[in-house]
Structures are given as C-alpha cells and as structure tokens.
Chain A
Amino acid sequence: MKTILTEQQLGITIQRLAHQLLENHVNLENTVLIGMQPRGIYFSNRIVKEIGKLLTPDKIFYGKLDITFYRDDIRKGLHTANQTDIPFSIENKNVILIDDVLYTGRTIRAALDALIDFGRPAKVELCILIDRRFSRQLPIQPDYTGKSIDSIITQKVKVLWKENDGDEEVILL
C-alpha cells in the first residue's frame, strides 16, 4: 500500500482544481458542474464547496449523473442504479464532468452518451482527481487533473473520504 495523496495534499489539490475551473470559466458563466455517481460525488461535493467560498450559490448549477443504464457490459453483470439529478437544462452550456478516478475511460464514454439525452451541451470538459494514465481503452483525456499516476492493471486506486470511509486520503493498493 502506498499513499498517493495525504489528507492535507488532497485538500490543496481540490482547492487548486476549483480555482482552475474558475480561471477558465469566470463566475461559472454559462457553465454547469456534474458529478458522477456513485464515488465521484464525494469529490464533486468538495469542488462545489470550494467554489461556494468564491461565488454565490445562485451562480452554481450542480447536478449528479448515474450511468448504470448506459453501461456497455450489462450482459456481464448488473450494477445498482443510483440517483440522477440534473434539475436544469444543459442545452448550449459548458458542462464540466467531475469524477474521482479516470481509468479505462469507459465510464466517461457512457457519461457522454447519457449527457446527450439531457440536451446538446456547447462543450464538455472533464475534471479528474486521479488520472491513471497509460491504462486508457478509449481516446478520452482529462482537462483538469488532480494528480497523474502510473499504475499496473493489478493495482487499485482507492480514494477515501471522511464522510464515508472515516479516513481521508488516496492510496494505491
């Protein structure tokens, strides 16, 4: 087991990503944030909390997306569906997808399919906490990255959050 980010580093990384998002999308003008169910939500909640320190709540449009029904492996096994909650239109908006770990890219592929069913966004960007580069199975890359790591297929990245796991850190198993 190896620690990739300690609790303190994690906090700083989230702050940086929140600022980067605001740097590219001043005041989140015409921009919405969408966290990926289930584990990406802890990360997106933090990002939104950070942005909330700099912007008033009426400027922040934050939704949650579950991609269970868009998976390409339903014949291999079923997954528990989680809540999707996008209470605003994404038509012609800049959409920032937020997830904790980017690995094969298949989840994001499904998320892009799902997003299109809610409208036609002007642009979609991807914000990732941990990018497991060199393990992609699809041509998908993040626009905002917390930390890039090199890992082999047998290793596992675990992102732990205080509210769910007690501890708060990112580890490589």
Chain B
Amino acid sequence: MQLSSKHLLGIRDLLSSDIQTILDTATQFKEVLQRPIKKVPTLRDVTIVNLFYESSTRTRISFELAEKRLSADTINFTASGSSVSKGETLLDTVNNILSMKVDMVVMRHSASGAPHFLAKHIPAAIVNAGDGINEHPTQALLDAFSIREKLGKLEGKKVAIIGDIMHSRVALSNIYLLKKMGAEITVAGPPTLIPTYIKEAFDIRVEYNLRRALEWCDVANVLRIQLERQNQVLFSSLREYSLAYGVNKKILDSLSKEIVIMHPGPINRGVELDSDAADSKQSIILQQVENGVAVRMAVLYLLAGGKSEQN
C-alpha cells in the first residue's frame, strides 16, 4: 500500500505498482469530491507548505484544494514578496519553515532538480509540483487518470504528445509514466522543439507531421510553447507554428476516428490549440483539472501516512 519512495520527485523514480496505487486511490477520492460534504479528516494534524518559486494557477489551486479537502493545515509561500528577494537561499528558507514543524513540502521551482536537492537535505516529504524543464509528476498522473477514466485503461493506448517537447516537464513526466504503464507514445512537433536523441533514449516514435501524428493516436496531449524557457529563436513565428502544428476542429473532423484532446493548461488559444477544438466535446481539458484535485489528494495521502513507522 505504501509507495516505494518517501517523496514524489518525479515519475522516473516510481514503480508501475506505485502509479497503479495512486490512480486507484484517486478513484476513491474522486467519489469523496462528489459527496454533499467534500472533505475528509484524513490528514488532520498534518501541516503542508506550498512553496512556489514560479508562477502557477491550476497546480497551486489544485494542491491547496486537495490539502483542504484532506483537512491538512496549509501555508502558502511565494518567492515574490518573501525574504528570497533579500538574498536568502532555498535551503535556508525551507529549513526556517520546517523549524515551525511542517510535515510536507509541495514545491515548484524554475531550476530543474531543485526538489531533488532539497530531498537530500531535509527530513520532510517533498512533492514536486514542477521543476524547470525536468518533471511535473502530478500532471502526468492526472493525465493518466483522465485517459484511464475516458478510455478504460492505459495499456496499449496510443498517445501523441504534441508541441514543445524540448522545454516541457509535462512531456517528460508523461513519457516516463506512459512507458511504465504500457501505452504507446509518439512525440510530434517541429524538429527544433524535439530533443535529438529522444527516440533512442525512450524508444518512442517521433513525428514531424501533425496530421500523421493525429491519424495514429487515440489521445492527443497538446502542449504550450514555453516561450519563457526558450532563449533562442526555434521557429519563425507563433503564426507559422500555428499553421503547421495548431490543432483545430477542421483537422480533427477530417480524421478517420474521433480522438481525445488533452491540454495541461494554460492554453494559448489560437496557437497550439484553437478554441473550437479546445471547447469541443472531444476535449477533456476541464475533466483533467477536476481530476487533478483527486489525484493530488491521493499523492498527499499516500506520502503522509505511515510516517511514525518509518521514523
């Protein structure tokens, strides 16, 4: 029942049985969220700090809601307006917070590996809520949960991940997870946004043509262009990108089957995904957000429990 790891730093470190446990537990939490009183006393007396060194809407609200639905006590920390601007280091900040008896840390940071660094130095359980261009494990878990809910299972399903693969932590976590759960993966996008050795590294398919990728897949997970992480010109303009790789209703209607559209948000409407596709009945984007709370409740529950036995 317990996860094999004390932290959730990335999907990379999880066993497929861990993923199964998280998804199954999330199913039960989803039922909790349908009740008249959408709250359980499970994590009474557990204190969680949400450390956000990088901006976030969905993930942050989702984690905070998950914590509140589990009756945990929460503290929110954002880098702007804190002593970080006075020059305090990450480790000092966290140690100061932990000295106030905090049990878990949910952390987002623009530097890849920041939560891994923290995990080596502090005793509290850490949940990675996105680190640089490395991983975003809870997003991959909620994506998997949503696919499983929509299509019944993950094994054997064909998932196309489309867009800025190079700078996307969502893409990397999804690849790790889908591989572990036996799904087939194609990454698609312009060659400049796909890492050179990704095909060999993960034994997945690479496709430079959007239509061929869409024809192949059951599910298309469309990603945002991460302009904030690109420090060089990788394609000529957003308009050109949209013409070659933008997913719209027209191209979806011209396919031989109906595929499922996913997006981790925030959407740049009219760039990677058009409104008519994002808001169509093929899209499960809002279900993904809804499922995010249940999945994060499962992760927090599984990491918080059984602590005194370990110590």
Residue among A77, A79, A83, A85 having the largest count of chain B Cβ atoms under 10 Å: A77
Cβ–Cβ contact B42 & A74, under 8 A: yes
Q: Does A20 contact B (CB under 8 A)?
A: no
Other-chain contact of A81, B28, B41, B309 (Cβ < 8 Å): B28
Q: How far is the CA of A76 from the CA of B308 in the complex (A)?
A: 6
Cβ–Cβ contact A74 & B304, under 8 A: yes
- Residues in chain B near residue A70, CB distance under 8 A: 40-42
Which of chain A's residues 2-25 have a Cβ closer than 8 Å to chain B? none
Chain A, interface residues (CB within 8 Å), range: 20 to 34
In the complex, the number of residue pairs spanning A and B with C-beta atoms less than 8 Å apart equals 64
Cβ–Cβ contact A76 & B41, under 8 A: no
What's the least CB distance linking A26 to chain B, in Å? 28
Report if A77-B40 is in contact (Cβ < 8 Å); known contacts: A84-B28, A117-B35: no
Report if A118-B31 is in contact (Cβ < 8 Å); known contacts: A70-B41, A78-B1, A80-B1: no
What's the least CB distance linking B311 to chain A, in Å? 10
Q: Does B305 contact A (CB under 8 A)?
A: yes
- Residues in chain B near residue A134, CB distance under 8 A: none
What's the least CB distance linking A11 to chain B, in Å? 33
Chain B, interface residues (CB within 8 Å), range: 20 to 34
Other-chain contact of A77, B25, B32, B306 (Cβ < 8 Å): B306
Q: Does B302 contact A (CB under 8 A)?
A: yes
Cβ–Cβ contact B302 & A78, under 8 A: yes
Encoded as 1 (CB less than 8 Å from any A CB) or 0, chain B from 34 to 72 comes to: 011101111100000000000000000000000000000
Q: How far is the CA of A75 from the CA of B103 in the complex (A)?
A: 12
Main secondary structure of the interface of A (DSSP, over half): loop
Q: How far is the CA of A69 from the CA of B42 in the complex (A)?
A: 5
Encoded as 1 (CB less than 8 Å from any A CB) or 0, chain B from 198 to 222 comes to: 0000000000000000000000000
Q: How far is the CA of A103 from the CA of B297 in the complex (A)?
A: 30
Additional A-B contact list (14), CB under 8 Å, known A68-B28, A83-B31:
A70-B40, A70-B41, A71-B42, A74-B43, A75-B306, A77-B2, A77-B306, A78-B1, A78-B305, A81-B29, A84-B31, A113-B41, A114-B40, A117-B36
User: What are 27 A-B pairs with beta-carbon distances under 8 A?
Assistant: A66-B28, A69-B29, A69-B32, A70-B42, A71-B42, A74-B42, A74-B301, A75-B305, A75-B306, A75-B307, A75-B308, A76-B308, A77-B2, A78-B1, A78-B302, A78-B305, A80-B24, A80-B25, A84-B32, A85-B31, A117-B35, A117-B36, A117-B37, A117-B39, A117-B40, A118-B36, A118-B37
